[in-house]
Structure 1
Amino acid sequence: MKTARVIPLLLSLSIGQALADTPINLSHDASPNAHVSISNVKGEVTVSAWDRNQVQVTGRLGDGAKPLAIEGSNSSMSIKVESAGKSGWLNWGSDTSMGSTTLDVRVPKGASLDVDVVSAPMNIDGIEGGTIKVNTVSGKARINARSPSIDADAVSGSIELAGSADRVNLQTVSGDILAPNVGAEASLQTVSGRIRVNGGPWRKLNLSTVSGDVQLSGGVAPNGAYDVDSMSGDVQIQVPSNLSAVIKASTFSGDLRSDFGTVKKPEHGPGSDLQTTVGAGGAKMNVETFSGDLRIRRQD
C-alpha cells in the first residue's frame, strides 16, 4: 500500500521538475552590429561574443514562464522572459511565481546590448565595438568588453568592468564599482558602495559618493574637468607625476593631505583646503569631502 502511494508521488514530482526545467534552443540571423535586448526577472544571464552573424540562445526556461522567442529583425531583436500569468494591476506580482530561467546568449562581436535583470546575476564577455547598457537590482554585473560606451545601473548588486571603455556611466546604491581601465569620460555614483577605478587621462570625470570609500587613479587630459564629491566616505587619489592642472581641494571635518601644494587650516574651527597649480595648469581638479579623509598622491 505504501509503495502504491509513493510511486504516483514520485511521478508527479518528476513531471513537475521536467516542466520547471524546459531546455531552450533558439537562433536568429543577425547583422554584425545588431542591437540585442535581453530581459530576465529571475535566474542568470550570460552573454558571449562569437564570430558568427547569428544570435543563439540556450539554457533553461523557468516554470511559469511564457515560451521564449527571439523577436525582431536581423538588426534589432529582443529576448524577453515573461510570466505566463495574467498581466495588469490586479496581477502585478505574478512574476514572483516564476521559476528561475538561465539564459546563455551568443551574439556577434560587434553587437550592442541592452540587458535588464532583477535578481539575476549577469555576465557579458567579448563584445568589441558595440555599446552596452545594463540595469540590475540585486544581481552582480560583470562586463568584459571593449566598448565606446558602457552604462550600468545597480541597486545592491556590484558592477565589475574589465577590458576598456571610452565612456562609462556607472551607478549603484550599495553595490561596489570596480573598473580598472576607464577611458576619457566617466560618471561614477554610489551611496554606500566602494569605488575602485583606474583610467584616464580624463577629459571629464564626475564622481560622487555618500558613505562609500573611493580609490581613484589616473591623469587628467589637457583642459579636462575633474570633479569628486564625498560626504563621509574617505577618498584616495593618485595622479601621474607629470600632472598639469589647477587643484582645488577641501574638507569640512576630514583630514586633507596632498603631495602637491600646501594644505591650509583655519586658525579656529575644523576644515582644511588646498589650492595649487601643478605644471602649466590647464586642467581643473575639484575635490571635496565633508567628513571623509582626503589624500592626493603622486604616482611613482
Structure 2
Amino acid sequence: MKTLYATPLLLALSIGQAYASTPINLSKDIQPTAKISIDNTKGEVTVTAWDKNQVQVTGTLGDGAKPIELEGDANSVDIRVDTGGKNGSWFSWGNDTRMQPTVLNVRVPRAVQVDINVVSAPVSIDGLDGGKVSVDSVSGRIRANVRSPEVSMQTVSGTIDLAGKAGKADLQTVSGDITAPAIGEKVEAQTVSGRMTIGGGPWHEANFSTVSGETQVRGGITNGGKLTVDSMSGDVDIGLPSDTSAKLEASTFSGDLRSDFGSPTKGEDGPGKELKATIGSGSGTIHVEAFSGDVKIRKGGN
C-alpha cells in the first residue's frame, strides 16, 4: 500500500523536473548602434535600454529548447531560441508541446537597431532611442515605448501599443487594436477587426485601412501631403488641425457623414452621403471612404 501512495508523488516530482526551466545569464560587449536580432517561439521577450555598450540576456530557458548563445560580433548579435528536436521548423515549434516557454530579458544600448520575431510570445520594448525597430508576431501583444526613425510592427491576433515617437511607422494587425499617438512623417496602419487610434503628423503620407474596426485619427498633413482612410463597416473619426490645407473628398455608401468642412450631400449611388470641400489653400489631399460605417471629420486634432 505504501507503494501506491509513493508512486503519484514520485511521478509529480519527475514531471516537475522534466519541465524545469534553466536560468539564462549571458552578456557580450557591442557597439552602441549594433543590430540585435531576437527569435523566440513561446514565452516572453522584454527589451530594455541601458547606458552600457553591452547586450545582456537573462531569464529562463524552457525545457526542450537548445542552450542559447550570443552569436555574431560587436556590430550584429543574434539571440535565438531553437527547439531541441531534430525536425523542428518555425511553424511547427509553436505547436510543439515538448518545448516549454522561454522568458528573455534583454538589456541593450539605447541606440541599437532591434529585429524581433516571435510566435506566441508577448513583446515589450522600453527606452530605445535612435535605431530602427521591427517586430513580427503571430499571437503576441506588442508594446513599445521608443524614439525611432522607423518602426515596423505586425501581429495577427495581438494588439500594438506604440508610445514614444516614430518618424515612420508600418503597423498591421488582423484582430488586434492599434494605438500610436505620435507618428511623425509617414504612417501605414491596417487592421481587419481591430480599433485604430493614431495621432501625430504633420504627415507627408498617411494611409489607414480597416474592414470592421473603428478608426480614430488625430493629425494633419504637410503642404502637398496625402491622407487616405478606407473602411468597410467601421466608423471613422478624423480630427484635423486648424491650419490644414487640402482638397477633401469623403463619402459613405450607407452610413452617416458629418463634417466641419463643407456641407455633405446625399450620395448618388446609395442612401449615404458624400462631400467635396477645399480646406485652406487646398495644397494637400484628404480622401475618406466608408461603405456602411459613419464618417465624422472635425476641426481640432494635433
Q: Which amino acid aligns with 1:42?
A: K
Given that residues 245 and 284 in structure 1 are in contact (C-alpha distance below 8 angstroms), is that contact kept between their aligned partners in structure 2? yes
Q: Which amino acid aligns with 2:48?
A: S
Q: Which amino acid aligns with 2:70?
A: I
* CA deviation map 1:52-94 (0-9, x unaligned): 11100000000000011110111011101010001268x9457
Given that residues 198 and 217 in structure 2 are in contact (C-alpha distance below 8 angstroms), is that contact kept between their aligned partners in structure 1? yes
Shift of the alpha carbon at 1:248?
Answer: 0.7
Using structure 2 for the length normalisation, give the TM-score.
Answer: 0.94
* CA deviation map 1:205-248 (0-9, x unaligned): 01100000011101111110111111110000001122111111
Q: SS in structure 2 opposite 1:97?
A: coil
Q: Which residue does 2:18 correspond to in 1? A: 16
Shift of the alpha carbon at 1:268?
Answer: 8.1
1:179 aligns with 2:180: yes
Given that residues 253 and 269 in structure 2 are in contact (C-alpha distance below 8 angstroms), is that contact kept between their aligned partners in structure 1? no
Q: C-alpha separation between the residues in 1 aligned to 2:16 and 2:230?
A: 56
Q: C-alpha separation between the residues in 2 aligned to 1:60 and 1:260?
A: 56
Q: SS in structure 2 opposite 1:118?
A: strand
Q: SS in structure 2 opposite 1:185?
A: strand
Q: Which amino acid aligns with 1:16?
A: A
Compared CA separation, residues 291 and 72, structure 1 to 2 (3 A): same
Compared CA separation, residues 266 and 155, structure 1 to 2 (3 A): closer
RMSD of aligned C-alpha atoms? 1.8
Q: Which amino acid aligns with 2:21?
A: D
Q: Which amino acid aligns with 1:200?
A: G
Q: How does 1:26-65 map to 2 (within 5 A)?
A: 26-65=26-65
Q: C-alpha separation between the residues in 2 aligned to 1:97 and 1:11?
A: 18
Q: Which amino acid aligns with 1:39?
A: D
* CA deviation map 1:277-300 (0-9, x unaligned): 111110110111111100001118
Q: Which amino acid aligns with 1:291?
A: S
Q: Which amino acid aligns with 1:279?
A: G
Number of residue-to-residue matches in the alignment: 297
Compared CA separation, residues 268 and 115, structure 1 to 2 (3 A): closer
Q: Which residue does 1:160 correspond to in 2? A: 161
Q: C-alpha separation between the residues in 1 aligned to 2:85 and 2:269?
A: 66
Given that residues 66 and 84 in structure 2 are in contact (C-alpha distance below 8 angstroms), is that contact kept between their aligned partners in structure 1? yes
Q: Which residue does 1:114 correspond to in 2? A: 115
Q: SS in structure 2 opposite 1:98?
A: coil
1:227 aligns with 2:243: no
Shift of the alpha carbon at 1:102?
Answer: 0.3
Q: Which amino acid aligns with 2:147?
A: R
Compared CA separation, residues 266 and 290, structure 1 to 2 (3 A): closer
Q: How does 1:91-240 map to 2 (within 5 A)?
A: 92=92, 95-240=96-241
1:260 aligns with 2:261: yes
Q: Which amino acid aligns with 2:208?
A: L
Q: C-alpha separation between the residues in 2 aligned to 1:55 and 1:232?
A: 46
Q: C-alpha separation between the residues in 1 aligned to 2:55 and 2:121?
A: 21
Q: Which amino acid aligns with 1:71?
A: E
Q: C-alpha separation between the residues in 2 aligned to 1:104 and 1:88?
A: 24
Given that residues 151 and 169 in structure 1 are in contact (C-alpha distance below 8 angstroms), is that contact kept between their aligned partners in structure 2? yes
Given that residues 246 and 281 in structure 1 are in contact (C-alpha distance below 8 angstroms), is that contact kept between their aligned partners in structure 2? yes
Given that residues 45 and 124 in structure 2 are in contact (C-alpha distance below 8 angstroms), is that contact kept between their aligned partners in structure 1? yes
Q: C-alpha separation between the residues in 1 aligned to 2:192 and 2:31?
A: 39
Shift of the alpha carbon at 1:95?
Answer: 3.5
Q: Which amino acid aligns with 1:217?
A: R
Q: C-alpha separation between the residues in 2 aligned to 1:264 and 1:23?
A: 66
* CA deviation map 1:171-218 (0-9, x unaligned): 000000001111110000000000011111111001100000011101
Q: C-alpha separation between the residues in 1 aligned to 2:26 and 2:267?
A: 68
Given that residues 263 and 273 in structure 1 are in contact (C-alpha distance below 8 angstroms), is that contact kept between their aligned partners in structure 2? yes
Q: Which residue does 2:83 correspond to in 1? A: 83
Shift of the alpha carbon at 1:96?
Answer: 3.5
* Structure 2 alignment gaps of length 5 or more: none
